[in-house]
Homo-oligomer: A and B are copies of this chain.
Amino acid sequence: MRFVAETVTQGVCERHFELDVARRTVPGLLWTPAGASGPRPLVLIGHGASGSKREGYVVSLARRLVSHRGYAAASIDGPVHGDRRTDQGSVAGLAFLEFSAMWASEPTMTDLMVEDWRATLDALEGLEEVGGGPAGYWGLSDGHDPRPPLVAAEPRLAVAVLGLMGMTGPTRSRIETDAPKVTGPVLFLVQRHDELFAFATALELYEALGTDDKYLHVNPGRHGDVPVEEFEFSEQFLARRLGR
Q: Which residues of A contact B (CB under 8 A)?
A: 192-193, 203, 206, 212-220, 229, 232-233, 236-237, 240
Supposing A229-B236, A233-B233 touch, asked if A217 and B220 sit within 8 A by C-beta, the answer is no
Kindly state the separation between the CA atoms of A229 and B212 in the bound complex, as whole angstroms.
Answer: 17
Please give, as numbers and ranges, the residues of chain B lying within 8 Å of A232 by CB-CB distance. Answer: 236
Q: Are A212 and B217 in contact (CB under 8 A)?
A: no
Task: Decide if the interface of chain A is mainly helix, strand, loop or mixed.
Answer: mixed
Q: Is the CB of B218 within 8 A of A215?
A: yes
For the complex, give the distance between the alpha carbons of A218 and B215 in Å: 5
How many chain copies does the complex carry? Answer: 2
Which residues of the other chain, B, contact A217 by a CB distance below 8 angstroms? 215-218
Question: Known contacts being A233-B233, A236-B229, is A216 close to B214, with CB within 8 Å?
Answer: no
Nearest CB in chain B to that of A215: its residue = B219
Measured between beta carbons, the chain B residues less than 8 angstroms from A219 are 215
A217 → chain B, closest Cβ, in Å? 5
On chain B, the residues within 8 Å of A193 by CB distance are 212
Query: Smallest Cβ distance from A138 to chain B, in angstroms?
Result: 17
Residues from chain B with Cβ under 8 Å of A212 in the complex: 192-193, 220
- The reply to whether A220 and B229 contact each other, CB–CB distance below 8 Å, is no
**Closest Cβ of chain B: how far from A121's Cβ, in Å?**
26
